[in-house]
Structure 1
Amino acid sequence: MSYLRLAHAFELKNKKERRVYRLLEIFPGFLTWLTFILMFFGAVFFPMATSFFLISFTIFWFLRTVYLMVHLRSGFLQMRKNQKTDWRAKLSSLKLPNPALPQIKSWQEIIHLVIIPSYGEPYEVIKEVVGGISNSGYPTEKIAVVLAMEQRDGELQKQREVIAEKIKSEYQDRFLQFLVSFHPGNIPGEIAGKGSNEHYAGKKALALIIEPKKIPHENVIVSCFDADTVVNSGYFDCLTYNYLSCEKPLRSSFQPVPLFLNNIWESPSVSKIFAFSTSFWQLIQQSRPEILVTFSSQSIGLKPLVEVGFWQENVVSEDSRIFYQCLLHFDGDWQTVPLYFPVNMDANVAQNFWQTSKNIYKQQKRWAYGAENIPYLLFGFMKNKNIPKRIKWRFGFNIIEGFHSWNTHSVIILCLGWILLWLGGKEFGFSILSFNLPQILGSLMRLSMYGIFISMYMTIALLPPPPKEKI
């Protein structure tokens, strides 16, 4: 198996490579547990040094908060600017052809292929997604839609078929083509998940839509939307403009801003916190394009997508894996272009508070599966000698630091001070540093809380109008 399609160490035939990959799989968890062990070890044997580390670490997080808030504000302002932009006018005045796309003389030659993978979403949710695409303002005769359903036995399968047929009958005449695919659940080498469904649907669309119509691959932009993604008016105009004006459109992914606000007024408080936090983080990432990696709903040219073999069908985190596939396949010559344009998605809402909390946990766990990209990326860097070292260092450090900080930093800030006071020993307990440590850390943390006011402003600014029944 090519290292570009790897999911697990056992898939490698070479014993040495299998051992290396397995060590890389262990590495993220090992680093996390090593950090926690060192917290206790330092508190017991080196309490003074550990205290200075904790103070330095808290100062670092204060500075990082400032840094992230600057990027949050920057991303927010640019998004608001892009929402007010007349993208159709910009498209009409765009000088074509782009040297990277010499065969495209007009923006109207661009075809959008939209894939909507769905497992068990109700009719109303899928209708809102497809309706949003239809009402986006882009010529619908230039949009092909693939509703990618899962094929399973039982009553749920009958419901899927009814929903798919109903949606198709309502919208098939509005688009260039409307295709419904049913992904079989027994394909060898696949796992049951969104990635395998997208992989199957993408190949079906290529065979049944693109090839029969003889549409050049360079003219097709593929957007893969989560089944709750509702696009705003002007989205496809913005995407088309960025694709046609990009320096390297065939070496780029295109990332909108996912805002988890569709049903924010119906969600409980805990769900609101996670919805806004995730939306803020994606706004921050938009203003850091040098490390931006694809997430959730995203777009890519059909030509590079075909060249890398579509989405990987045997991993959980296919949304970010496709970026790393392209990064390795094209020798590091890959980027994510931030669109600074929102798409609306659902916050977690269930029958009650506890079920909502459970769903939030499952969602966070699925996102945490992105750590599977660490061994994939590092092993790929070892195999591909053509990727510049600066690219390897940038993305290698970013993915390791990102998951390690997610796992450990909140625990360090919350617990290490208490661990020092409990396990630091009598000598440390009677020291001036021990007495002043809570005051020092408390002052630094209170100073860091200024970011809450920026978050409050952003929350109010992003909050959609309440539904009529809520007024």
Structure 2
Amino acid sequence: MEEGTPDKEEKARHLKAIYMAKFERFYVTVHPKGLSGDIPGKCSNFNYGSRMAIKYLKEDRSYGLDENTELMVTTGDCDTIFGERYFDALEEDYLKLTPEQRSITVWQSPLFYCINIDKSPFFVRNVGLLRSFFMMGYLIPWNINTMSVFSLTLKLYEDGEYTHPGYQMDDIIALIRWMCVTGKRCVVRPIPVATLSGPTSGKNYFDEFYEWARQIRSWTIGAAEVFHYFAIKSKKLPFFVSLTWASRFIFYYGFLLCIASCYGIITPFVTVAMLKVGHHPAHGIVIKDEWTFNWIMLGCLGLQYVCHNASKKDGLLKTGGPNAVHPITDKNPDRFDV
């Protein structure tokens, strides 16, 4: 928790009462304000909490931290619901690798923003689905960055100097920071277990849109500051590793997320303009004129939003009978029959 967290002492006692008996060691840290180089956010909180936890374990002689060599660190959000076999799958993949490979590997499970999804507006659900698809299709296989919930060896975490307290997004910056600090190419490996997270939440459409916009602003700032960090520190990486990561990062965040979405809106007009510039007719056998073409394309775009909005009550959730599943009350993360 942070120093400014309301009722932090009571919350700490409550957490200890619930979880102290469930873990071999359980610590609650309070991140003080005004530390040199810190800015508010999860990145600095995670950095401080991790350093303090490792300090406590090293001081605890009965734990024997220095005697253990197979040590892992896993981070998550407060609304994270791990798959039942998450740590089994992590252990299985860990044992497949050599000690050298383990020291440069970060394990990432696909995140699905499904908690309370039946009550979310269409634009929140759309973004949540796209984030899951893009994570499995780009972020993990292309080794671009981690997201929210991931695991790594304590050796890599310490060698990479934890997370940078002067940046905002701990997950986006984590991989490239550890690469730049260690001077090695780190790899993101998938854990084939779904992890559930909550999308933005608000009392009404206006609150949802406001929270959604705030989160997009946070992602934009996070992506920009990560590229700034890379531009300054990239000389510590091998040239080919640096070039490959920069190309993938720019393509994903610059072209796929930013330019592609804008192009999807203006594509009818751009297509017609390009045909005219190339001295090709802006009409065909089926579509007789550009005016019809433009309205068909814009109509398809609008139809997507209408369909997604209407699907809010489409009955995809089983809410009755013995196999009923509700995204709030059903906390079994291995049941995806919704």
Q: TM-score, normalised by structure 1?
A: 0.57
1:349 to 198, 201, 204: 201
The structure-2 alpha-carbon separation of the partners of 1:198 and 1:234, relative to structure 1 and needing over 3 Å to count, comes to same
Asked if 1:228 is matched to 2:88, the reply is: no
Provide the secondary structure at the position in 2 that maps to 1:223. strand
Distance 1:467 1:365 in 2: 27
Change (3 A) 1:316 1:409: same
Which residue matches 1:363? 215
Structure 1 counterpart SS, 2:84: coil
Write the distance in 1 (CA, Å) between the matches of 2:261 and 2:271.
16
CA distance, structure 2, for counterparts of residue 171 and residue 410 of structure 1: 44
Which whole-Å deviations, capped at 9, do the CAs of 1:78-117 have from their partners, x for residues lacking one? xxxxxxxxxxxxxxxxxxxxxxxxxxxxxxxxxxxxxxxx
Match of 1:466 among 320, 326, 330: 326
Paired position in structure 2 for 1:157 = 6
Stretch of structure 1 that moved more, 204-213 or 391-400: 204-213
| Cα pair distance change 1:460/1:395, threshold 3 Å | farther
Q: 3-state SS of the aligned residue for 1:233?
A: coil
Which aligned pairs between 1:201-280 and structure 2 lie closer than 5 A? 201-212=49-60, 213-216=63-66, 218-247=69-98, 248-280=101-133
1:318 to 170, 178, 195: 170
Indicate conservation of the 8 Å contact 1:291/1:394, yes or no: no
Q: What is the deviation of 1:469?
A: 9.0
Selected match of 1:402 from 252, 255, 272: 252
AA aligned to 1:334 is C
1:275 Cα offset (Å): 2.0
Pairwise CA distance, 1:209: 2.0
The yes-or-no answer on 1:189 pairing with 2:37 is yes
Deviation at 1:394, TM superposition (A): 1.6
Tell me how far apart the structure 2 counterparts of residues 182 and 276 of structure 1 sit (CA, whole Å): 34
CA RMSD of aligned residues (A): 3.4
- Which structure has greater strand proportion? 1
CA distance in 2 between counterparts of 1:432 and 1:243 reads 57
Q: Is the 8 A contact 1:249 1:301 kept in 2?
A: yes
The counterpart of 1:393, out of the listed 243, 260, 270, is 243
Is the Cα contact below 8 Å between 1:151 and 1:185 reproduced in 2? yes
- 2:281 aligned partner: 433
Task: State whether residues 255 and 294 of structure 1, in contact with CA within 8 Å, keep that contact through their aligned partners in structure 2.
Answer: yes
Say which SS state the counterpart of residue 231 (structure 1) adopts.
Answer: coil
Instruction: Tell whether the 8 Å contact from 2:74 to 2:150 is kept in structure 1 after alignment.
Output: yes
Aligned to 1:372: 225
- Superposed CA offset, 1:335-369 (max 9, x none): 11111211111122211111011111111221222
Equivalences for residues 265-304 of structure 1 within 5 A: 265-285=118-138, 289-304=141-156
Match of 1:175 in 2: 23
Give the Å deviation of 1:171.
1.5
Matched, 1:333 2:182: no
Q: 1:198 matched to which residue of 2? A: 46
Higher helix share: 1
2:334 is matched with none
Structure 1 distance, partners of 2:134, 2:260, is 16
For structure 1, which runs of at least 5 residues remain unmatched after alignment?
A: 1-148
